Amino acid sequence: MLFMSKNLFNRPVMSLRSGSQIAVAHEPVINPHNLKIMGWWSSSPQKPGRLVLLSEDVREMMPNGLAVNDETALSSTDDLVRHKEILDIKFQLLDKTVKTQRHKLGKVTDFSYNDGLFVQKLYVSRPVTKIFSSEDTLLVDRTQIQEVTDSYILVKDTEVSSTEEAIAPAGAIAS
């Protein structure tokens, strides 16, 4: 089952031990190497500074928030040595440019994820010049992604040019 990214932003963090809200999970922390949602950048009135709620510390994702055991599930970035490299990147998936080897497709406006918290599909809004041609939003599956960088996401080009069509049959006959 796939879920939309809006379920990941500005979620209350609820303590199962106290039965009350202990923090707010503002935005997801995404590993750009495998597009896994590692956790959330969070804030809490009890703990100063920017905190991280790791996805493995979330007991349940409920409609009204994220359930954790208690406030010990919230960690400072200094305490998460194993995840420091990914946290320092501060990767943002939304508004990232999506392109092929040939041309720019647009920007990520939304994404969906699965139960394992892996990003499965990117919703890409096309530039204004392309909107009038056919569709205003492209859907890109994770299997089409070739490279993720700080400035863009490179995806496989599904279009075949006329020269490639002319070459492909000739190459197929020769072999």
pLDDT of 10: 96
Indicate the residue type of 24.
V
- Do 105 and 29 fall into the same domain? no
- Do 31 and 82 fall into the same domain? yes
Q: What is the pLDDT of residues 84-103, one digit of tens each?
A: 999 999 999 999 999 999 98
Residue at 169 is within a domain: no
Domain of residue 15, CATH code: 2.30.30.240
Q: How confident is the model at residue 167 (pLDDT cuts 50, 70, 90)?
A: very low
- Give the CA angle between residues 39, 8, 127 to the nearest 5°: 115
Whether residue 54 contacts residue 80, with contact meaning beta carbons closer than 8 Å, is answered with: yes
Taking Cα atoms as reference points, which of 39, 25, 23, 158 lies closest to residue 90? 39
pLDDT over threshold 80, residue 75: yes
Q: How many whole angstroms separate alpha carbon 35 and alpha carbon 102?
A: 24
Supply the range of the domain harboring residue 103: 97-158
pLDDT over threshold 50, residue 175: no
Residue at 78 is within a domain: yes
Q: What proportion of the chain, given as a percentage, has pLDDT over 90?
A: 75
Residue at 67 is within a domain: yes
Residue at 171 is within a domain: no
pLDDT of 129: 57
- Do 56 and 72 fall into the same domain? yes
pLDDT over threshold 90, residue 135: no
Q: For the chain, how many structural domains are there in total?
A: 2
Residue at 33 is within a domain: yes
